[in-house]
Structure formats: C-alpha cells, structure tokens
C-alpha cells in the first residue's frame, strides 16, 4: 500500500525558485525510497515523469507539466555519516544542509554546497558547482532508480561527467549518493562556509526570485561579463528583469510569467550572438507546456 501523498492539479509556483509556472497534472510526495519504488511500479509505462526538488535552475512553463511530478522537497531527506571520511545523502536533502552537516561532523570538501540553492538530486543530475568546486568531485558512488522502481548502485566513474552536465540513461534518476570527504577542524569548516556565503551575497541578488545562473560560462570567460558587455543589465520583458547586480541572473520582479522569462532568455541569446558572436549555452532547464 502506498504511503505517500498523491495530488491532482497542484500549482507549482511555490515549488520553484522563480515562483512562476503552471500546475502539475499529478504530483506525488513519496514517504521514503521504498514507497517511491512501489509508486513507480504502479505507473503506466508511458506516463511522463518529472522530478522536482527545490525547483532552482528550472523554468516551469505557464501551461504546467503533464504526467506525474515526483516532489522530493522535504522528502527523501536522510543524511548520515558512514565513516570518518564519508557520508550518505538522499536526493531530497538540500545542498545547504549537506554543507552544514559536514561542518558539524568535522568533514571538509562539501563547503561549496552551501552556495547551491537546490537539493542533492538536482546537484547530481547537473554536476552543480560553486566557488570553483563541483558536486561530482566528491561523489564516491550513487544509487539510481528507474521508472519501473528498480534501484541500482553505481561507482562515480560509471558516468560521463562534465561542466554542468551528467550523462544519465533515459528514465533514470539519482536517489542517493555517498560522498568522499576529508577530516577537518569544525571551526575551520564553519569559517570557510561563512566566507563563501558572504562572497555569494555580495555578488548575487540573494533574496529575490530567480533560478540562479541562467547560462553556463563559456570556456575562459563568464556569461555575466559578456551579457553586461552588451549593456543588458536591468533590461526587462514584462515582469522579468536581468539583475542589476549580476547579469547572468533573471529576476521575477513580482508579476512575471514563465513566458516573460523565456522571451528574455531568448532575447539575451540573440543580442549576445549578434554583438559578441558568442552562442550562450543555457544552464537553466525549461520544462512543461506553453499556454
């Protein structure tokens, strides 16, 4: 018997960091990993499935998402220390919580996760990074689950990983990971996290509705520098605005639609291509249906 919560037509606006977008045709909050496996086993083979954690680095279109959305926010959130230098963490645990847990347990190497506004599932899926470090640099092995509820354990080197990209078989998602770290002094780790967060607050529009970085950085350059060089800081379409503080952030000023944001993303791409000859690559994922 299923123990999670199934909801029809749930609005996803409060479940993503832009606070925009439509509803999920169906959403499911699993009680735990076993419950999730059972739920997936009962779904039709052709049912579209989307995973949603904190909804950062994601644009959900105004028409919502067809099929079933697996919500991990507040779910699949177990974290534990395995030994003196490693921890186990499930996909729904926030990256910030992982950083704080490691600091408390005298473990070094995960401090950069404090600067990633998402869950470990999303961080694993896109090799999220901050402050010069990335997620897969500390991954020892992972557990995946497929659309049929089958779980498998893989070594980190089973995956082809690159900058903000991980090749994953279709209809397969990250359920958990074991992270390899190093012993450290607690106060040193806490000071490092505090310094990283201060640096982030000084350079990014923290506290405003955005998805984080919209574009990946081109080789040996920064997307924000290129966009700023085109004079686009502060440019608006509808309720969507390029941040005055960081040109690689798009802000929902309060009444933006997903279409406003998508139109602004396309505008940035076209201006940068025309003026700088650079084809920007999107870091944000755009999902769902247009109205």
The verdict on residue 37 lying in a domain is: yes
Is residue 100 located within the same domain as residue 26?
no
Contact 109, 135 (CB under 8 A): no
Q: Is residue 208 part of a domain?
A: no
Residues 58 and 98 in one domain: no
Q: Band of the pLDDT at 155, cuts 50, 70, 90?
A: very high
DSSP per-residue letters across 47-110: --EEEESS-TTEEE-TT-EEEEEEE-TTSS--EEEEETTEEEEETTSBHHHHHHHHHHTTEES-
Please identify, among 71, 92, 108, the residue that sits at the C-terminal boundary of a domain: 71
For the chain, the domain total comes to: 3
The whole-number average pLDDT for the span 86-96 is: 97
- Could you give the CA distance from residue 129 to residue 115 in angstroms, rounded to a whole number? 8
On whether both 41 and 143 belong to a single domain, the answer is: no
Catalytic one of 29, 61, 147, 164: 164
Confidence of residue 247 (pLDDT cuts 50, 70, 90): very high
Average pLDDT estimate for 113-141: 94
32 part of a folded domain: yes
Q: For residue 111, what are its two tokens?
A: 């401090």
283 belongs to the catalytic site: yes
Q: Is position 107 within any domain?
A: yes
250-252 and 240-242: which strand pairing? antiparallel
**Both ends of the chain: CA-CA distance in Å?**
36
The single residue of 56, 184, 213, 258 carrying the catalytic annotation is 213
Helix (H, G, I), strand (E, B) or coil at 179: strand
* Domain span at 170: 79-203
User: Last residue of some domain: 32, 47, 71?
Assistant: 71
> What is the band of 160 on the pLDDT scale with cuts at 50, 70, 90?
very high
Mean pLDDT over each residue of the chain, to the nearest integer: 95
Residues 57 and 151 in one domain: no
User: What's the pLDDT at 193?
Assistant: 79
- Of 75, 68, 77, the closest CA to residue 48 belongs to 68
213 part of the active site: yes
Per DSSP, the residues of 97-157 read HHHHHHHHTTEES-GGGGG--SBHHHHHHHT-EETTEEGGGGEEEEEEEETTS-EEEEEGG
pLDDT of residue 107: 92
Domain identity same for 28 and 110? no
pLDDT tens digit sequence for 6-61: 999 999 999 999 999 999 999 999 999 999 999 999 999 999 999 999 999 999 99
Known active-site residue 200: no
Nearest in space to 110 (alpha carbons), one of 178, 57, 157, 55: 178
* Same-domain pairing of 240 and 195: no
Q: Say what the pLDDT of residue 185 is.
A: 67
The whole-angstrom distance between residue 246's C-alpha and the CA centroid of its chain comes to 19
Report the candidate in 85, 155, 168 with the shortest Cα–Cα distance to residue 125: 168
DSSP 249-262: -EEE-SS--HHHHH
The residue behind tokens 């509705």 is 209
Which among 142, 147, 148, 150 is positioned nearest to 174, based on CA atoms? 142
Structure tokens at 11: 């609005």
């Amino acid at each position: 018997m299923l123990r999670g919560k199934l909801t029809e037509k749930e609005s996803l606006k409060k479940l993503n960091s832009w606070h925009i977008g439509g509803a999920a045709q169906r959403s499911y909050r699993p009680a735990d990993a076993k419950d999730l496996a059972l739920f997936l086993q009962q779904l039709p083979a052709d049912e579209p499935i989307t995973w949603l954690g904190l909804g950062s680095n994601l644009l959900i279109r105004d028409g919502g998402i067809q099929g079933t959305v697996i919500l991990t926010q507040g779910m699949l959130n177990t974290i534990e220390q395995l030994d003196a230098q490693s921890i186990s963490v499930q996909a729904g645990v926030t990256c910030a919580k992982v950083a704080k847990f490691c600091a408390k347990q005298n473990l070094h190497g995960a401090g950069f996760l404090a600067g990633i506004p998402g869950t470990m599932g999303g961080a694993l899926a896109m090799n999220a990074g901050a402050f010069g470090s990335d997620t897969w640099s500390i991954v020892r092995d992972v557990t995946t689950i497929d659309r049929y509820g089958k779980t498998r354990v893989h070594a980190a080197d089973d995956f082809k990983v690159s900058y903000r990209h991980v090749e994953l078989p279709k209809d397969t998602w990250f359920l958990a990971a074991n992270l390899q770290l190093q012993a450290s002094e607690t106060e040193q780790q806490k000071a490092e996290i505090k310094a990283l967060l201060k640096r982030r607050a000084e350079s990014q529009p923290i506290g405003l509705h955005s998805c984080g970085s919209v574009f990946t950085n081109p080789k040996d350059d920064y997307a924000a520098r290129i966009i700023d060089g085109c004079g686009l800081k502060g440019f608006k379409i509808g309720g969507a605005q390029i941040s005055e503080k960081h040109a690689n952030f798009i802000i929902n000023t309060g009444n933006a639609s997903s279409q406003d944001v998508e139109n602004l993303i396309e505008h940035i791409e076209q201006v940068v291509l025309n003026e700088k000859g650079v084809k920007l690559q999107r870091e944000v994922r755009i999902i769902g249906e247009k109205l």
